[in-house]
Amino acid sequence: KFQGIDGLKRRKTKKEYSVQFKLGAIQFMLTTGASYLETAVHFKLNNPSLIKRWTKEFHEQGVEGLNAKPKGRPSMSKKPNKQKKKEEKKITR
């Protein structure tokens, strides 16, 4: 309703927001007392739950919580192969 036809279109790529943008949205919401929906409309976001998640991470971890986090499974680390030393067997005759 607030964004018109553009609000209904599916985005082709996921947009990553900068730390400054996230911090600005949180500060706007806290200073004006706006709701998550009003803040999302003001910053032209299509999902108010983004702001809720950003606020939660900001209160729990501070500004560091707003940094982009790596996605997906971590790469496999190459562990050095430990070669077992063959114990010398005592040869008895």
pLDDT tens readout for residues 17-54: 888 999 999 999 989 988 988 898 888 887 888 899 99
**d(C-alpha 54, C-alpha 76), whole Å:** 30
If you average pLDDT over residues 62-90, what whole number do you get?
A: 72
Instruction: Please state whether the predicted TM-score (pTM) of the whole model is above 0.85.
Output: no
Gyration radius from the chain CA atoms: 26
Residue 8 has pLDDT above 80, yes or no: no
pLDDT band at 12 (very low <50, low <70, confident <90, very high): low
pLDDT band at 9 (very low <50, low <70, confident <90, very high): low
The predicted pLDDT at position 27 comes to 92
Residue positions counted in the chain = 93
Structure tokens, 20: 């400054």
